[in-house]
A and B are shown apart, each in its own frame.
Chain A
Amino acid sequence: MTSIPVDMKAGSQTMRRALPQSLVAWLFLAPAAVIFAVVLIYPMTYSAWLSLFQWDGVSPNKVWVGVENYVELFTANRVFWIALKNNVFWSLLSLVIPTGIGLGLALLLNTAFRGSSFFRSVFYFPAILSMSIVGLIWSWMYHPTLGLINQSLAAIGLTGLENNWLSDPSIALYSVFVAATWHNAGLPMLLFLAGLQTIPKEVMEASRIDGATRLQSFWFVTFPMLRETTMVVVAITAINSLKVYDIIYVMTYGGPANRTQVLGTWMYFLTYNHNEVGLGTAIAVILFGLTLFFAIPYTRHMVRN
Chain B
Amino acid sequence: MTASVAPLPDVTVRAPRLAVGSYVFYIAIAVAALIWSSPLFILFFTALKSANDFAQNGTFSLPQTIELSNFAKAWDVGIRTYFMNSLVLTLIKVPTGVFICSLAAFALAKMRLRGARAIFTIFVLGLVVPMQMTLVPLTTLYQHLGLIDSLPGLFFLYLGFGLPLGILILRGYFRSIPDEMIEAAFIDGCSWWDVYWRIVIPVSKPAIVSLLILDGISTWNEFILAQIFIRTQANRTLPLGVVQFSTEFSTAYELLAAGQIITIMPLILLYLFFQRYFVHGMAGAIK
- A→B interface (CB under 8 Å): 1-2, 5-9, 11-12, 14-15, 18, 21-22, 24-26, 28-29, 31-33, 35-36, 38-44, 46-47, 50, 57, 108-113, 116-117, 119-126, 128-133, 135-141, 146-148, 151-152, 155, 182, 187, 190-191, 193-194, 196-198, 201, 204-205, 214, 228-229, 232, 236, 239, 242-243, 245-246, 249-250, 263-264, 267-268, 271-272, 277, 280-281, 283-285, 287-288, 291-292, 294-295, 298-299, 302-303, 305
Interface residues as binary, B1-25 with A (CB distance below 8 Å gives 1, 0 otherwise): 1110000110110111111110001
**B256 contacts partner chain A, Cβ-Cβ < 8 Å:** yes
CA distance A140 to B36 in the complex (A): 15
CA distance A74 to B114 in the complex (A): 43
6 more CB-based (< 8 A) A-B contacts, given A11-B186, A39-B138: A22-B113, A25-B112, A35-B163, A36-B123, A43-B137, A229-B1
**B136 contacts partner chain A, Cβ-Cβ < 8 Å:** yes
Q: Are A108 and B29 in contact (CB under 8 A)?
A: yes
Q: Are A204 and B16 in contact (CB under 8 A)?
A: yes
Interface residues as binary, B165-186 with A (CB distance below 8 Å gives 1, 0 otherwise): 0011000100000011011001
CB distance from A45 to the nearest CB of B (A): 8
The number of chain B residues touching the other chain, given as a range, is: 35 or more
Contact partners of A140 in chain B: CB under 8 A: 39, 42-43, 253, 256-257
Q: Which single member of A33, A38, A132, A294 contacts B104 (CB below 8 Å)?
A: A33
The chain A residue with its CB closest to the CB of B100 is: A31
Q: Are A39 and B156 in contact (CB under 8 A)?
A: yes
Q: Which single member of A120, A138, A151 contacts B59 (CB below 8 Å)?
A: A151
Contact partners of A135 in chain B: CB under 8 A: 243
Which among B21, B38, B217, B221 has the highest number of chain A CB atoms within 10 Å? B221
The chain B residue with its CB closest to the CB of A246 is: B223
CA distance A51 to B284 in the complex (A): 37
User: With contacts A32-B101, A36-B160, A42-B137 known, is A122 near B37, CB below 8 A?
Assistant: yes
Contact partners of A122 in chain B: CB under 8 A: 33, 36-37
Contact partners of B187 in chain A: CB under 8 A: 1-2, 6, 11
The chain B residue with its CB closest to the CB of A278 is: B136
CA distance A285 to B134 in the complex (A): 10
User: With contacts A47-B137, A112-B11, A197-B11 known, is A190 near B132, CB below 8 A?
Assistant: no
CA distance A198 to B1 in the complex (A): 9
User: With contacts A122-B33, A130-B223 known, is A110 near B134, CB below 8 A?
Assistant: no
**B75 contacts partner chain A, Cβ-Cβ < 8 Å:** no
Interface residue ranges of B54-71 to A (CB < 8 Å)? 58-60
Interface residues as binary, B216-233 with A (CB distance below 8 Å gives 1, 0 otherwise): 010011111001100000
User: With contacts A112-B11, A141-B42, A194-B283 known, is A43 near B188, CB below 8 A?
Assistant: no
Q: Are A24 and B111 in contact (CB under 8 A)?
A: yes
The chain A residue with its CB closest to the CB of B6 is: A194
Q: Are A29 and B104 in contact (CB under 8 A)?
A: yes
User: With contacts A39-B161, A111-B18, A148-B38 known, is A232 near B137, CB below 8 A?
Assistant: no
Could you tell me the dominant secondary structure of chain B's interface residues? helix
User: With contacts A32-B100, A35-B100, A228-B1 known, is A271 near B136, CB below 8 A?
Assistant: yes
User: With contacts A47-B134, A112-B11, A243-B130 known, is A121 near B267, CB below 8 A?
Assistant: no
Contact partners of A232 in chain B: CB under 8 A: 1, 286-287
**B92 contacts partner chain A, Cβ-Cβ < 8 Å:** no
CA distance A93 to B113 in the complex (A): 43
Could you tell me the dominant secondary structure of chain A's interface residues? helix
Contact partners of B282 in chain A: CB under 8 A: 187, 190
User: With contacts A28-B104, A122-B36 known, is A39 near B286, CB below 8 A?
Assistant: no
Interface residues as binary, B242-261 with A (CB distance below 8 Å gives 1, 0 otherwise): 11001000000100110010
Q: Are B136 and A57 in contact (CB under 8 A)?
A: yes
CB distance from B227 to the nearest CB of A (A): 8
The chain A residue with its CB closest to the CB of B253 is: A146
CB distance from A51 to the nearest CB of B (A): 9
Q: Are A302 and B17 in contact (CB under 8 A)?
A: no
CB distance from B24 to the nearest CB of A (A): 13
Contact partners of A236 in chain B: CB under 8 A: 286
Contact partners of A47 in chain B: CB under 8 A: 133-137
Contact partners of B2 in chain A: CB under 8 A: 305
